[in-house]
């Protein structure tokens, strides 16, 4: 249990996020005391504790305690952090000049000093391995793009990442190289260009780690025809508004779920709708997430090729049959290789493969085997995910039985994938982090230079509007001049989506 008292500031949300790096959420209690008055609205604390805290918090509390005290002293903001841990006291004070004309400057600098104080002390006390410093966001590359836009050079950015955010040098270098590679795909920003996402939320079976929209075919397959009909209506009606507003479609991504669960008549229906709604000839990239190899066949691949799909995903997750069985994928390594070679034969040269490290029962040698097998296939794109134990996944309930890897082993696995990617001539071109990832690590998208997945870059950096269709799709409307972003989710539930599809169109219209 750790209690935190904020004095002179209320960055309790940020502190809670930061403390999740060191504690379970249930162990964290944050109190706010601004100008000497304890916030009585804090529901988490019992009344008698509040009384005690008013007397003398540091002496009364027996548990571990953090006191974060922010003061403004002339032109400086000063933050003193004290940590009382297992009977010992640790303390650090830092200050920084702020711009009194800019209220945002106080907030930004103050918040940073508060986080730095707590992070530095806890990291040294608890000796937790945190290669990403106190960055907890999903998109750390955004910070680098911001600094690049301010005109800062590589060395300066590197220093900021390491000194202000405590990133490991290797992670700082990774961020900079990814941001540099992404840059030409994002800038100059053209408000008239948008990307399209189409969600096909059906899967042959549900994988144990997954929390994506994925309705197993056995139970939900009978709704696929109806789904395509509703989806096409949503696309056609929204496309009219996009056209009216002069929006050009730059990329389309058909994802899921597993889009290759659709049969040929269903795919024909979908592509007829897309051809009618958008100018597919002008697309920069058209991705189809084949996903699972057990859903892919030659007729379908030929159809997709003919329709202009330029980028295809065929995802192994692992090249070890026993793990495929454990995670409920219902396909074999052999099937994967066959599907990959078939796609090559049909003429797809830009194939992505997703893998996950830290899967149940896997050790470093199994990851090495996966990479060795992938090296033989030579995909143009490889996305390496670190397992995230998501709340909505089956794995969450069975975590204790399955996940036995030590943090060092997860790190070793990540290193193996990096070394193989380099050997295969692949460079990192986008990256993101997720909540509940093993080892506080990251997901990295690699590609052969020239095969960058543009849609992936756009979705990560959030500088382009993405209009999403289908159950579980999330649109993002970007207003660059106002530096504003609006997330507009579609309904996730399949049956609800079918009856409320017109509402999904109306939601999007209001943002266009």
Ligand X SMILES: C[S@@+](CC[C@H](N)C(=O)[O-])C[C@H]1O[C@@H](n2cnc3c(N)ncnc32)[C@H](O)[C@@H]1O
Closest CA to 384 of 406, 415, 407: 415
Q: Does 214 bind ligand SF4 (CB under 6 A)?
A: yes
Q: DSSP character for 222?
A: G
Q: Does 364 bind ligand X (CB under 6 A)?
A: no
Nearer of residues 182 and 289 to ligand X, judged by Cβ: 289
CA–CA dist 105, 300 (Å, integer): 56
CB of 443 to ligand X, least distance (A): 7
Residues 509 and 488 sit within 8 Å (Cβ to Cβ): no
CB of 304 to ligand X, least distance (A): 15
CB of 403 to ligand X, least distance (A): 12
CB of 488 to ligand X, least distance (A): 19
Name residues contacting ligand X, limited to 240-269 (CB under 6 A). Answer: 255-258
Q: Does 331 bind ligand X (CB under 6 A)?
A: no
Q: Which H or E run contains 68?
A: strand 64-73
Beta bridge partners of 317: 355
Query: Which of 9, 247, 292, 433: binder of ligand SF4 (CB under 6 A)?
Result: 292
Name residues contacting ligand SF4, limited to 241-270 (CB under 6 A). Answer: 256-258
Residues 6+ positions from 196 with CB-CB distance below 8 Å: 249, 251, 252, 253, 278, 466, 467, 468, 469
Q: Does 315 bind ligand X (CB under 6 A)?
A: yes
CA–CA dist 220, 439 (Å, integer): 36
CB of 356 to ligand SF4, least distance (A): 9
Considering CB distances under 5 to 8 angstroms, the limit depending on partner class, which of ligand SF4, ligand X, none binds residue 206? ligand SF4
Instruction: Write the CA distances from 210 to 34, 220, 333, integer angstroms.
Output: 42, 17, 20
Which span sits near ligand SF4 by CB under 6 A: 128-136, 209-217, 345-353, 470-478?
209-217
DSSP of 19-32: HTTTS-GGGEEEEE
CB of 107 to ligand X, least distance (A): 34
Closest CA to 437 of 398, 473, 405, 474: 405
Query: Which of 67, 210, 342, 471: binder of ligand SF4 (CB under 6 A)?
Result: 210
Q: Does 212 bind ligand SF4 (CB under 6 A)?
A: yes
Query: Which of 182, 354, 409, 442: binder of ligand X (CB under 6 A)?
Result: 354
CB of 390 to ligand SF4, least distance (A): 10
Residues 30 and 56 sit within 8 Å (Cβ to Cβ): no
Considering CB distances under 5 to 8 angstroms, the limit depending on partner class, which of ligand X, ligand SF4, none binds residue 441? none
CA–CA dist 510, 512 (Å, integer): 6
Q: Does 291 bind ligand X (CB under 6 A)?
A: yes
Q: CA-based Rg of the chain, rounded to a whole angstrom?
A: 25
Instruction: Write the CA distances from 358 to 209, 367, 391, 434, 466, integer angstroms.
Output: 11, 9, 17, 14, 31
Q: DSSP character for 212?
A: S
Beta bridge partners of 447: 381, 427
Q: Does 387 bind ligand X (CB under 6 A)?
A: yes
Q: Does 200 bind ligand X (CB under 6 A)?
A: no
Residues 81 and 123 sit within 8 Å (Cβ to Cβ): no
Which spans of this chain sit near ligand SF4 (rule: CB under 6 A)?
203, 206-207, 210, 212, 214, 256-258, 291-292
Query: Where do contacts with ligand X occur on this chain (CB under 6 A)?
Result: 203, 209-210, 212, 255-258, 289, 291-292, 315, 317, 354, 356, 385, 387-388, 390, 393
């Amino acid at each position: 249990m750790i209690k935190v008292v904020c004095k002179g500031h209320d960055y309790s949300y940020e502190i809670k996020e930061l403390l999740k790096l060191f504690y379970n959420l249930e162990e964290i209690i944050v109190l706010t005391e601004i100008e000497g008055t304890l916030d009585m609205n804090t529901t988490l604390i019992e009344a008698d504790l509040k009384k005690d805290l008013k007397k003398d918090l540091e002496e009364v509390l027996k548990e571990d305690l953090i006191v974060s005290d922010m003061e403004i002293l002339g032109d400086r903001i000063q933050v003193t952090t004290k940590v009382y841990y297992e009977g010992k006291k640790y303390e650090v004070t830092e200050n920084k000049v702020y711009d009194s004309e800019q209220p945002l400057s106080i907030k930004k600098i103050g918040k940073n000093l508060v986080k730095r104080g707590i992070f530095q002390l806890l990291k040294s006390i608890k000796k937790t391995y945190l290669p990403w410093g106190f960055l907890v966001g999903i998109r750390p590359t955004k910070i680098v793009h911001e600094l690049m836009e301010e005109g800062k050079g590589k060395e300066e950015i590197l220093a900021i990442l390491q000194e202000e955010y405590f990133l490991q040098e290797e992670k700082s270098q990774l961020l900079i190289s990814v941001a540099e590679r992404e840059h030409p795909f994002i800038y100059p920003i053209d408000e008239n260009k948008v990307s399209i996402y189409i969600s096909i939320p059906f899967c042959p079976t549900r994988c144990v780690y997954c929390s994506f929209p994925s309705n197993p075919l056995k139970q939900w397959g009978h709704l696929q025809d109806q789904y395509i009909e509703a989806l096409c209506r949503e696309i056609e009606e929204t496309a009219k508004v996009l056209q009216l507003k002069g929006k050009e479609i730059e990329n389309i991504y058909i994802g899921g779920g597993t889009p290759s669960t659709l049969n040929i008549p269903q795919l024909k229906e979908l592509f007829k709708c897309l051809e009618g709604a958008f100018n597919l000839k002008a697309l920069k990239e058209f991705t189809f997430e084949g996903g699972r190899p057990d859903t892919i066949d030659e007729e379908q691949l030929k159809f997709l090729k003919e329709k202009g799909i330029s980028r295809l995903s065929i995802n192994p997750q692992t090249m070890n049959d026993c793990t495929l069985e454990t995670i409920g994928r219902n396909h074999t390594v052999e099937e994967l290789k066959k599907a990959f070679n078939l796609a090559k034969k049909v003429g797809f040269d830009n194939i992505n493969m997703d893998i996950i490290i830290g899967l149940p029962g896997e050790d470093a040698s199994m990851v090495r085997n996966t990479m060795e097998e992938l090296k033989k296939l030579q995909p143009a794109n490889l996305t390496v995910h670190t397992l995230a134990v998501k709340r909505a996944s089956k794995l969450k309930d069975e975590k204790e039985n399955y996940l036995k890897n030590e943090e060092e082993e997860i790190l070793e696995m990540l290193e193996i994938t990096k070394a193989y990617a380099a050997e295969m001539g692949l460079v990192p071109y986008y990256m993101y982090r997720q909540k509940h990832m093993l080892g506080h690590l990251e997901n990295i998208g690699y590609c052969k230079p020239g095969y960058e997945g543009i849609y992936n870059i756009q979705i990560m950096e959030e500088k382009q509007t993405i209009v999403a269709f289908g159950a579980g799709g999330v649109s993002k409307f970007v207003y660059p001049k106002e530096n504003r972003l609006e997330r507009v989710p579609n309904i996730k539930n399949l049956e609800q989506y079918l009856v409320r599809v017109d509402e999904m169109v109306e939601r999007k219209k209001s943002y266009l």
